[in-house]
Amino acid sequence: MSNRVMHFEIPSDNPEANMKFFSEAFGWTFKQLGDRPYWLAVSGDGNTPGINGAIMKKRAVGQPLVNSILVDDIDDAVKNIEKAGGRIHIPKMYAPGYGCIAFFADPDGNMHGIMQPDENIK
């Protein structure tokens, strides 16, 4: 089991402006995911340490930047999160072509995601 941070999401009121900023400032590239207001971000060449992520249209005022943690079994991870004092905010859902995801708050109230990869989920 890796349990490593594997993805980040940057909520934005103006995704196009944010993509332009990160592209110009850091050389990131972006690709829209289907027709959703969600753009995958490639933040490096893959040969150096680091993770890729996404910029998304903000869904709510105060929506935080979220790091997602790779897990082998999302149901076990949810149980462990709750047992350790975390709180599930968005229960397990399916992301077609990617896997299962859920979102939780740690005891300090910081938001995080968990993801169990499964490319066969449609």
Q: Which pLDDT tens digit goes with each residue over 58-87?
A: 999 999 999 999 999 999 999 999 999 999
Is 66 a domain residue? Answer: no
Q: Tally the domains of the chain.
A: 2
Q: Are residues 56 and 5 in the same domain?
A: yes
The arithmetic mean of pLDDT across residues 47-66, rounded, is: 91
Q: Do 3 and 51 reside in the same domain of the chain?
A: yes
Rounded Cα distance, 87 and 109, in Å: 9
Q: Say yes or no: 40 and 8 in one domain.
A: yes
Q: Could you tell me which residues are beta bridge partners of residue 101? A: 93, 115
Q: How confident is the model at residue 1 (pLDDT cuts 50, 70, 90)?
A: low
pTM, to two decimals? 0.80
Is the CB of residue 96 less than 8 Å from the CB of residue 121? yes
Task: Give residue 89's pLDDT band: very low, low, confident or very high (50, 70, 90).
Answer: very high
Q: How many CB atoms lie within 10 A of CB 16?
A: 12
pLDDT in tens, 96-117: 888 999 999 998 899 999 999 8
For residue 65, tell me if it sits in a domain: no
Q: What is the pLDDT of residue 22?
A: 93
| CATH number assigned to the domain comprising residue 109 | 3.10.180.10
| Residue range of the domain that includes 121 | 71-122
